[in-house]
Structure 1
Amino acid sequence: MANKLISQMGLPPAIANIFAARNISTAKDALSMTELDLMALLDVDLGQVKSAVSRISEIVCPPYQTALSLTEDRIRSERSGGHLPTLLKGLDDALCGGIPFGSLTEVVGPAGIGKTQFCLKLALLAALPVSYGGLDGRIVYVDTESKFSSQRLMEIGRSSFPQIFQSDRVLKEMGGRIVVLRPSSLSEFTERSVAELSRTPVIVTNQVRGQTNSEALHYPFEGQRSGAVKSPESFESHLVAALGIQWAHAVTVRLVFEAHS
């Protein structure tokens, strides 16, 4: 909503033209400035600025929701939603059917643990006919690390579903349902909006990094849990998701991959 164009908000033509002339084209541009700054930039009186800002705020501000309406929306979403089965019984049971639609699922683990292979398998499952446990759908595979391998995808198909992948024609048909994108910037795609608006299961992989108790002391809660650290020798390291806590708040489901000897 912040990127909604001011020209589409029904402001009086005179003030709308001034906004356009000063290169203030979106709600974000206007609301990021103080009223006094807008007065100076637009060269209009305070009353006109207040009226314009009020109108812009009214349009872009989302409507209020009560706790009851949020609960009802969630129940309706869960009932009308669906899942992409992983065909891993334990995981599907834990996820109540598989990767949920309309939400963001994160796969976390160290390099080489199998995150890419898991995503390739899910892409294949989504393309399979419903009769074989798939969604009979089309897939957008966003590959930011250039790790997508069509050869590996076909190998997984032949190994997991030999009864389907018996001919080159079927291989080409399944492969043709998967569109691979390699964006060069974050602005080229928005996982969250795709998940929410299109009722699409979205899977994101995340690397891990090492963290010591000394790093945890920067955060009060972690510091209280770790206790006093008296010497460098007492530092203990553990693995945490690389993208940090702010990213974690955007994730609905986090799957952590670990290897145990």
Structure 2
Amino acid sequence: MWLSPFQQMDWDQLDMNPRVIAAIKKANLRSIKEVLNLSGADLQRLTKLSSTDIQHLIKTVSGALRKNSAFTALQLFQDENLRASQRRKLSLGCPVLDDFLRGGIPLMGLTEIAGESSAGKTQIGLQLCLSVQYPYEHGGLESGAVYVCTEDVFPHKRLQQLIEGQSQLRADVPHDVVQKIRFGNGIFVEHAADIETFHECIAKKISALLARGMVRLVVIDSIAALFRCEFAAKDSVLKAKYLQTFGAKLHQLSSVFRTPVVCINQVTDMMGEGPYGDCSNPCSTGKRVVPALGITWSNQLLMRLMVSRTGRQVQAAGEVSYGSTLRTMRVIFAPHLPQSACYYTVNSEGVKGRGAETPT
């Protein structure tokens, strides 16, 4: 039997005490999503069950959902909620970049943004944290974001600057929404500097925030920093195992909660010729670099974007840019996009696409 978290559930099919099933029905809980969106305390209050019963309930419905995480083509076609999620994208907060990515970031799957230092990776992550809070009609998901820092402190000052810039730029967004974003209440910051802390973060804290409907975006900055000093060359098998475990867990969270997971990654130098440093590409810096963590991590991704600084200065009348440097965003792979490139800048208002123009 295939289960969707949205569809009405026949609770009698689950392996639970009839007393617990009767309490669920009496509380008028009809779907797995309704159960997982409530905290343990709320479930106890609604069902009048003990904490032990509630723990067993959550474990049972989560297990039932995990067993049926694979979808056939017919099931995908028949599930209107799933098809709507696949069509919907999370806006980057810029119409030019949204058009470049055919709507923005997919809701289901892992998206990687890789690039060298100062390429604008964190800026894009922060802007996504603001965009997710906008109404659906403005490209958002009407929810918050969780930002996981693995190496640096969270850039609060830069976020506030972006909030102020976006509040002036997005005049189309309702005033009350802008005011809510202005206080930064929709962004939850977590710090995870090692493998064990990161595992606990995604398995418990992020899972709880998603289950309660408090967030609809996960940003990890950066995924490579967790593995920089943890593993020697001889530990490649163990490293691959951790990457597969993290990838599987993040995929599960993204699939169950229809939540984009954006992983910021670093790059390493590449020996020889390769597609990432193609000097014939007008949007390339000419440097031969590849995203860190290798093919094991690449296989976990739905979409990979690479960003870089061109070294060219922006020369636009009346525009004061953050760093005054033209940057590029390239699609390396994605199931719905061709390999292509787009220019963008980062200024006080945020990340702004500039299309495929030729810089002067």
- TM-score range (shorter-chain normalised) is 0.5 to 0.7
Using a 3 Å threshold, how does the CA distance of structure 1 residues 208 and 170 change in structure 2: closer, same or farther?
A: same
- State the shift of 1:136 in Å: 2.2
- State the shift of 1:193 in Å: 2.1
Match of 2:39 in 1: none
Distance 2:253 2:69 in 1: 23
Distance 1:87 1:76 in 2: 24
Q: Is the 8 A contact 1:139 1:178 kept in 2?
A: yes
Q: 2:131 aligns with which of 120, 125, 130?
A: 125
Instruction: Indicate yes or no: 2:299 matched with 1:249.
Output: yes
- State the shift of 1:64 in Å: 11
Match of 2:143 in 1: 137
Distance 1:194 1:120 in 2: 20
Residue segments in structure 2 that go unaligned for 5+ positions in a row: 1-14, 17-63, 203-248, 276-285, 313-360
What percentage of aligned pairs have identical amino acids? 28
**Which structure would you say has the larger Rg?**
1
Using a 3 Å threshold, how does the CA distance of structure 1 residues 130 and 74 change in structure 2: closer, same or farther?
A: closer
Amino acid at match of 1:187: H
Q: Is the 8 A contact 2:115 2:308 kept in 1?
A: yes
- State the shift of 1:134 in Å: 3.0
Note the 1:152-191 alignment, pairs <5 A: 152-162=158-168, 170=179, 174-183=183-192, 184=194, 185=196, 186-188=198-200, 189=202, 190-191=249-250
Residue segments in structure 1 that go unaligned for 5+ positions in a row: 1-8, 11-58, 217-221, 223-235
Amino acid at match of 2:179: V
Length-normalised TM-score, structure 1 = 0.58
Distance 1:146 1:74 in 2: 41
Match of 2:288 in 1: 238
Match of 1:211 in 2: 270
Using a 3 Å threshold, how does the CA distance of structure 1 residues 212 and 154 change in structure 2: closer, same or farther?
A: same
Distance 2:251 2:123 in 1: 23
Aligned length: 185
- State the shift of 1:154 in Å: 1.2
Using a 3 Å threshold, how does the CA distance of structure 1 residues 76 and 95 change in structure 2: closer, same or farther?
A: farther
Question: 1:147-204 deviations in whole A, cap 9, x for unaligned?
Answer: 421221110111122257999x936764111111112434222422221111111111
Q: Is the 8 A contact 1:210 1:239 kept in 2?
A: yes
Instruction: Indicate yes or no: 2:105 matched with 1:99.
Output: yes
- State the shift of 1:74 in Å: 9.2
Length-normalised TM-score, structure 2 = 0.43
Q: Is the 8 A contact 2:113 2:305 kept in 1?
A: yes
Distance 2:71 2:92 in 1: 35
Match of 1:201 in 2: 260
Instruction: Indicate yes or no: 2:85 matched with 1:85.
Output: no
- State the shift of 1:207 in Å: 0.4
Q: What is the DSSP-based 3-state SS (H/G/I as helix, E as strand, rest coil) of the residue aligned with 1:213?
A: coil
Using a 3 Å threshold, how does the CA distance of structure 1 residues 105 and 62 change in structure 2: closer, same or farther?
A: same
Match of 2:28 in 1: none
Distance 2:287 2:123 in 1: 27
Q: Which range moves more in the overlay, 186-195 or 250-259?
A: 186-195
Distance 2:143 2:72 in 1: 35
Q: What is the DSSP-based 3-state SS (H/G/I as helix, E as strand, rest coil) of the residue aligned with 1:259?
A: strand
Q: Which range moves more in the overlay, 185-194 or 64-73?
A: 64-73
Amino acid at match of 2:268: R
